[in-house]
Amino acid sequence: MNLGDILTTRQIVPELAARNRWEAIDELIGCLVAAGKVLPEHREAITAVVKKRETSMSTGIGFGIGIPHASTDLIPEVIAAFGRSRTGVSFDSLDNQPVHLVTLFLVPAGQFQRHLHTLAGIAKVLRRDDFLKSITNASDAEAMIKLIRDFSEGLR
């Protein structure tokens, strides 16, 4: 499973309004609710578990990338949302730089191996310089999903 497998255009925010990591998490979970991937009545609980994980250690891995994630029993399958911020989001990143690409993903509780594999797969795509340049210049969600799928497929 790779990032291209778990995203649709409805799960992409081409220009995040968020200014910090907490707002980015809220915005991307809102995107998952709007896409029908998270039930509205589960929004608060899922937000709380992601923010609790983020509080323990920032998922701003450096290089302008943030990957907030968590496990929860409120979803039946791995889901994700992807957001881009051209201006940058304050994320308390390891390199103290703003984050421009945020991938939030959730894994069903008890699927530790899937969690690790998903995280590793996302990081592989996001760390590629050619991907970063292409996704930064993508015009909209359609162009972004095509790039994500093309680059994810190339890593299989």
- Domain residues of the chain, as ranges? 3-153
Instruction: Please give the Cα distance from 87 to 143 (Å, whole number).
Output: 19
Instruction: Please give the Cα distance from 54 to 62 (Å, whole number).
Output: 15
Q: pTM to 2 decimals?
A: 0.93
Structure confidence at residue 122 as a pLDDT band (50, 70, 90):
confident
What is the domain class of 3-153 according to CATH? alpha beta
Instruction: Give the containing element (helix H, strand E) for 79.
Output: strand 79-89
Residue pLDDT, tens place only, 37-71: 999 999 999 999 999 999 999 999 999 999 999 99
pLDDT given at position 156: 47
C-beta separation of 88 from 52 below 8 A = no
Active site residues: 69
